[in-house]
């Protein structure tokens, strides 16, 4: 059937008798991307050519941090177990007792440092979860892959870290 139109009057629109109703476009909701867990090879190393802190980077650093934490916990448990075994050996010689006390003191300081490091690892893992890992807590600038490879628990850029250390030194002198 041919389209026929009415005569256009001033200020009115021309309508066709057989004009089709306009199609209403439905607004499509973005499809939820169903991501499976990202898998990386054991030999994978983050590259500067990849997008900074992409999913591969996060997975790499999460694995690296978890393995490091596992090693520290194992070493601490062994040190504590072996240290408790030595408690049974009490020497009559005062020099041996002093030496043993010094050794235990040094060992406990090392264990305390490792416990603090485990806490820092946990904080880094939380930053991975909330997508702030790899960015400076002061400036929000990228920390850099090289720095994170050397110190995975780093939370500041080198410049911000130097500033923090300088501030700590100033306050320590007070």
Question: 55-87+95-173 maps to which CATH number?
Answer: 1.20.120.910
pLDDT average, residue stretch 35-49: 84
The whole model's pTM is what?
Answer: 0.69
Q: Distance of CA 106 to CAs 81, 87, 164, Å?
A: 16, 15, 27
pLDDT exceeds 50 at position 31: no
Whether 29 shows a pLDDT value over 50: the answer reads no
- Please state which of the ranges 38-52, 66-80, 89-103 shows the lowest mean pLDDT: 89-103
Q: What's the pLDDT score for residue 2?
A: 52
Whether the predicted pLDDT of 7 surpasses 90: no
With beta carbons less than 8 A apart as the criterion, state whether 158 and 147 touch. yes
- Measure the N-to-C terminal CA separation of the chain; round to a whole number of Å: 95
State the average pLDDT over residues 10-26: 52
- Residue 135's φ and ψ, nearest 5 degrees, are -120, 140
Q: CA-based angle 169:127:125, to the nearest 5?
A: 100
Of 111 and 100, more confident: 111
Q: What percent of the chain has pLDDT over 90?
A: 52
pLDDT at 88 over 90: no
Q: Where exactly are the structural domains of the chain?
A: 55-87+95-173
């Amino acid at each position: 059937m041919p389209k026929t139109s009415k005569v256009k009057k001033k200020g009115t629109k021309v309508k066709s008798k057989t004009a089709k109703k306009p199609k209403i476009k439905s607004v499509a909701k973005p499809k939820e991307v169903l991501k499976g867990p990202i898998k990386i090879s054991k030999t994978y190393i983050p590259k500067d050519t990849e997008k900074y802190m992409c999913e591969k980077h996060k997975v790499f650093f999460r694995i690296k941090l978890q393995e490091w934490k596992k090693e520290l916990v194992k070493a601490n448990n062994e040190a504590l177990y072996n240290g408790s075994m030595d408690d049974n050996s009490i020497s009559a010689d005062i020099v041996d007792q002093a030496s043993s006390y010094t050794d235990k003191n040094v060992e406990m300081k090392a264990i305390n440092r490792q416990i603090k490091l485990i806490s820092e690892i946990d904080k880094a893992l939380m930053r991975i979860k909330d997508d702030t890992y790899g960015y400076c807590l002061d400036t929000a600038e990228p920390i850099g892959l090289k720095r994170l490879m050397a110190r995975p628990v780093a939370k500041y850029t080198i410049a911000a870290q130097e500033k923090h250390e300088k501030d700590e030194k100033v306050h320590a002198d007070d």
